[in-house]
Structure 1
Amino acid sequence: MSLYGALRTSVSGMNAQSNKLGTISENIANSSTTGYKKASTEFSSLIVQSGASEYNSGSVNTDIKYSVSQQGTTKNTTSNTDLMVQGDGFFVVQDASGSTMLTRAGSFTVDASTGNLVNSAGYTVMGYDISGGQDPSVVVNGTGGLVPINLQNVALAAVPTTSGTFKANLPSSDTVVAAANLPSANAATATYSQKSSISTYDNLGNEVILDVYFTKTADATVGPPATSSTWEMTMYNQADAASSTAPFPYTSAAVSTTAMTFDTSGQIASGTSVTFTVPNGQSVTLDTSKMTSLNTTYSPEAPMNGSPPSAASDVKVSKDGTVYAVDGNGNTTNLFKIPLANVASPDNLTPVAGNAYQVNLDSGPLQIGFAGDAGFGTVVSNALENSNVDMASELTDMIVAQRDYTANSKVFQTGTELLDVLMNLKR
């Protein structure tokens, strides 16, 4: 046995245990770091060729592995921009030099100077701009088309009115109005049975008030033969009224005129849908299928969509990675879509500062997709992924490494003493 070989072997053992203690120390230090993946030290023996009558001790080598593919536990938060990947995949981020990296640490905030969404290391989250309503053009094996997610001065466009419902009872006791005096004739002598006004919005978000007139044109008869009652629904732009007290004649033609018929039970038989165009706005489909004509009071309800432009009151992220703004009226506008990236062997990614990773030959090439696609997890908002470090296991491993380091040092000490004995033989 070579004494020098024993010394070298024990030194390699102490170095290996030092590496193990180093990974344990890093794991414990980062046990509260969002998205941190624990490091581990793997040992492998290096064999030196020995003769039949003499043994030459080898040494031990270490290899550092990272448990990147192991999911950490969930920590709920109150921030909408705190994101977590549930399942496989990474967020794509970019540093100041433009280098692309992957991360599981989703504690994102808006940078005050640029408006970009960044993580705690200052890396910018990348996504596809879908604010124009277009589908993202995804490069499945690269980062082409990705832009920084910028949430500075987010404002929502106007939402023009496109649909609504008008529900009311038209009293069956109302008097029939002659054709010459119907609101659709737009004469100064126009007479109507019931009137309401509804609010709509044009393409620029301007409010357009429409005056809605219901006028009875024929009574129902019991028969024989039984006949239905008929009504006329006419709408005008209130801005075209002659005055608030005597609106007729309006300066422009009616926005819409629709005939309605009600059966002998007072239920609507025709005219269940009205289509008209808001001045300077969109075509609107108005559902009138709930109208009735019974012997009771006029009771209108008219919920309509549409809203004026307003600043965003909140920004949220859906589980498919869509970043959207919400205004005070509850209307939403899609802004960006956050992709997820993955590689064939996540545990072989190269770790870099800032709790991020870079692709290398061992990890396999980058693949881009979206949350919910095959091979990708989902995005969870108001949540973060905790470190996957198990403190109890780390403390146990630390005790074992300390013991093994001490044992290797004893081998080195013993080898040194034997060399001293060998040297003293000459004296």
Structure 2
Amino acid sequence: MSTLTGAMYTGIAGLSTHSKGISVVGNNLANSSTVGYKSTSIQFEDMFYSSLHTANGPDQIGHGSSVSTLYSDFSAGSYEDTASPTDVACTGKGFFVVTDPTTGRNYYTRAGHFSFNEDGYLINAQGYRVQGWEADPAHKGNGVSTKGALGDIRFDDLQSPPEATSFMTLLVNLDKDSEERSANPTDPFFSLQQEWDGTADPPMGENSYTYQSSMVVYDEAGGSHEVTIYFDPVQDDSVVSDAGGGQVWEYIITCDPSEDGRTIDGQELSSTSSAGLLMTGTLTFDSSSQLTGMTAFTLNGAATGDLHDLTNWTPADIGDDGNPMFTANFSGSDNASYTGDAEALNIGIDFGIHDNTPSATGWDSAVADASLIGSDIANLFNFEEPVISSNATTAYGRSSSTLSRSQDGYPPGFLEDVEIDDNGVITGIFSNDQSMELYVLGLADFANYQGLINEGGNLYSASGDSGLPITGVAGTNQFGSVASNKLELSNVDYSGEMVDLIRYQRGYQSNSKVITTVDTLLQEAINLKR
């Protein structure tokens, strides 16, 4: 009788373990569509044994089964494309780190369905804050660089600061068949400079130039200003003859006279006829209409008397990039000199020709000022080692037009969108077409994944068995990479789960049969009384 009673309890143990197995399968199937869910498998083990005396000597008889362990499968699931850049998936080892803002406790998850809340925090579905590091812009381009400690990722009223213009590129075609429109043809060079009058409105008459092109530049505060370049061909007979079938064009670079804040020895240029006149010079083309040389003059900071006097215009400084520079001051300063004004902008200009090895002067002639050019083309100097770009300014026989223009300044901007790269670097895209690396997503790894505690909500917490978290950047060391606009789906295997469900069902039925069989045998034993 005791053996039969024990067999019944053995069946009960089998029912219990198989019902737990069915529960595990049911949970897997219930989470088959849960983002980042990791399937669980159950493992059984036999229970203790009792000694039994048999004809062959001592032996043992078992008393059923029990649950040995639950094993989580941390292999990656498939990936789903999404429309949100803040949906991220880890394509290798690692967990995203989130923090409960109430308790400060860290959790770890593979579910990267993140979004920004009304306070600018990057959060998960539970409102826990995603953790990362601030990006270090000082090391941009030298791999992923972070600063500070792991903390909340927060975008709060982020702005892109303005950048003052320091370089301009203008590539044009100047119609070689154009007629000189300058009203001062007797002086072949710098006629445009002579005709500019910053006190007049407009400062340059329409009959004084052949072509003009304008672009917007920015000051140090992000304010926009229009810079206009005027062109006119030099058609003096002696110049045309000396050019050997080529051409010489003169140009001036100007700004709105009312925005010219330069001063010379206390004199404000905005009140003079040279207000807004930033640079003057020439462009030389050969018989095939290709650019071969240029000159550039700017107003001497020690100029005196008539500022239109060519002796006050000296060869422009050459920048480190080999391009001539002019100085503008759109902010102005009552006590600043022309050359020492902290708010002055030095802007390089590129027409498609520059000096290959800029020296102290960068020019191949020691011409002191524009007055020494005279009327002879032979007096025009050039760069010491001129380099002509493949897409330089030209003088073909077709309508004058602007081929390309650009400058490197920009106004302040406001955050409009974000991008996340393979290393988890979160880059802000701003309204001024600039981008800025702002944060780097943090990942955590553990020595023993099976030691993690499943907290529900796609969250895990560390335990003594899992070991302390090792944090790092995606794509480095043991960590996988990050994929934006993607979510990692559940790794539940439907077919495998259905097979397990059948096994556990049959196991449950079999153990229930043990109980009913024992019941029948006990009934037979009771019936012996009759």
Match of 1:203? Answer: 220
Residues 116, 151 of structure 1: 8 Å contact kept: yes
* Matched residue type, 2:254: Y
Query: Aligned ranges for residues 9-408 of structure 1 at < 5 Å?
Result: 9-48=10-49, 50-53=51-54, 54-62=59-67, 63-68=69-74, 70-96=75-101, 97-112=103-118, 114-130=119-135, 145-172=149-176, 173-175=178-180, 177-179=187-189, 181-183=191-193, 194-216=211-233, 226=244, 229-240=247-258, 249-251=273-275, 254-257=277-280, 259-271=282-294, 273-276=323-326, 279=329, 280=343, 284-289=347-352, 290-300=392-402, 301-408=404-511
Q: Distance in 2 between matches of 1:119 and 1:17?
A: 36
Tell me the secondary structure at the aligned position of residue 501 of structure 2.
helix
Give the deviation of 1:125 after TM superposition.
0.9
Q: 1:239 & 1:217 partners in 2: Cα distance?
A: 26
- What does the per-residue CA deviation read over 1:163-219, in whole Å, with 9 as the maximum and x for residues that have no partner? 442111233355475446452896789965543322111222110211223355687
- The whole-number CA distance in structure 2 between the counterparts of 1:192 and 1:77 is 56
Distance in structure 1 (CA, Å) of the matches to 2:456 and 2:434: 40
The change in CA–CA distance for 1:187 and 1:164 in structure 2 (over 3 A counts) is: closer
Return the letter of the residue paired with 1:287: D
1:59-112: CA deviation from partner (whole Å, max 9, x where unpaired): 4232111112x1111111222221112232221111131112221111112223
Q: Distance in 2 between matches of 1:281 and 1:313?
A: 31
Say which SS state the counterpart of residue 429 (structure 2) adopts. strand
Deviations 1:242-279 (A, max 9, x none): 9xxxx982336x54455533233221223584444564
Structure 1 counterpart SS, 2:149: coil
1:152, CA displacement in angstroms?
A: 4.0
CA–CA separation in structure 2 for the residues paired with 1:258 and 1:51: 113
| TM-score in terms of structure 1 length | 0.83
Contact 2:193-2:280 within 8 A present in 1 as well: no
User: 2: distance between equivalents of 1:31 and 1:369?
Assistant: 30
Measure, in 1, the Cα distance between the counterparts of 2:220 and 2:231: 27
> Partner amino acid for 2:30?
A
Deviation at 1:305, TM superposition (A): 4.0
Q: Is the 8 A contact 2:217 2:227 kept in 1?
A: yes
In 1, Cα distance between the equivalents of 2:117 and 2:83? 18
Superposed CA offset, 1:356-389 (max 9, x none) = 1223344344223323324332222222111111
CA 162–20 in structure 1, closer or farther in 2 if over 3 Å, else same: farther
> Counterpart of 2:316?
none
Give me the whole-angstrom Cα distance separating, in 1, the residues matched to 2:496 and 2:194: 83
Kindly indicate whether the alpha-carbon contact (under 8 Å) linking 2:190 and 2:250 is maintained by their aligned counterparts in 1: no
Instruction: Give 1:355 deviation, angstroms.
Output: 0.4
Distance between the aligned counterparts of 2:509 and 2:190, measured in 1? Answer: 110
Question: Are the equivalent residues in 2 in contact too, given 1:241–1:248 (CA < 8 A)?
Answer: no
- The verdict on how the C-alpha distance between 1:261 and 1:359 changes in structure 2, with shifts beyond 3 A counting, is farther
Query: Between Structure 1 and Structure 2, how many residues are aligned?
Result: 416
User: Is the 1:228–1:262 contact (alpha carbons within 8 Å) kept by the matching residues of 2?
Assistant: yes
C-alpha separation in 2, matches of 1:419 and 1:163: 100
The offset of 1:424, in angstroms, is 6.8
Aligned-residue CA RMSD (Å) = 3.6
The amino acid of 2:230's aligned partner reads Y
Cα–Cα, structure 1 residues 311 and 169, in superposed 2: closer, same or farther, change >3 Å?
Answer: same
Could you tell me which amino acid in structure 1 is paired with residue 218 of structure 2? Y
Q: Which amino acid aligns with 1:293?
A: A
* Distance (whole Å) between structure 2 residues aligned to residue 156 and residue 138 of structure 1: 19
Most deviating of 165-174 and 118-127:
165-174
Q: Secondary structure at the match of 2:422?
A: coil
Maintained 8 Å contact 2:88/2:482: yes
The amino acid across from 1:212 in the alignment is: I
Q: 1:38: Cα distance to partner?
A: 0.9
What is the TM-score when the length of structure 2 is the normalising length?
0.68
Is the 2:197–2:275 contact (alpha carbons within 8 Å) kept by the matching residues of 1? no
CA contact (8 A) 1:241 1:250 kept: no
How many angstroms does 1:315 deviate by? 2.5
Which amino acid in 1 is paired with 2:105? S
Equivalent residue letter for 1:196: S
2:512 to 400, 409, 419: 409
Secondary structure of the 1:55 match is: strand
Which secondary structure does the structure 2 equivalent of 1:80 belong to? coil
Aligned twin of 2:314: none
Checking the alignment, whether the CA contact within 8 Å between 2:327 and 2:345 is kept in structure 1 is: yes
Tell me how far 1:52 sits from its aligned partner. 4.7
CA distance in 2, matches of 1:184, 1:371: 62
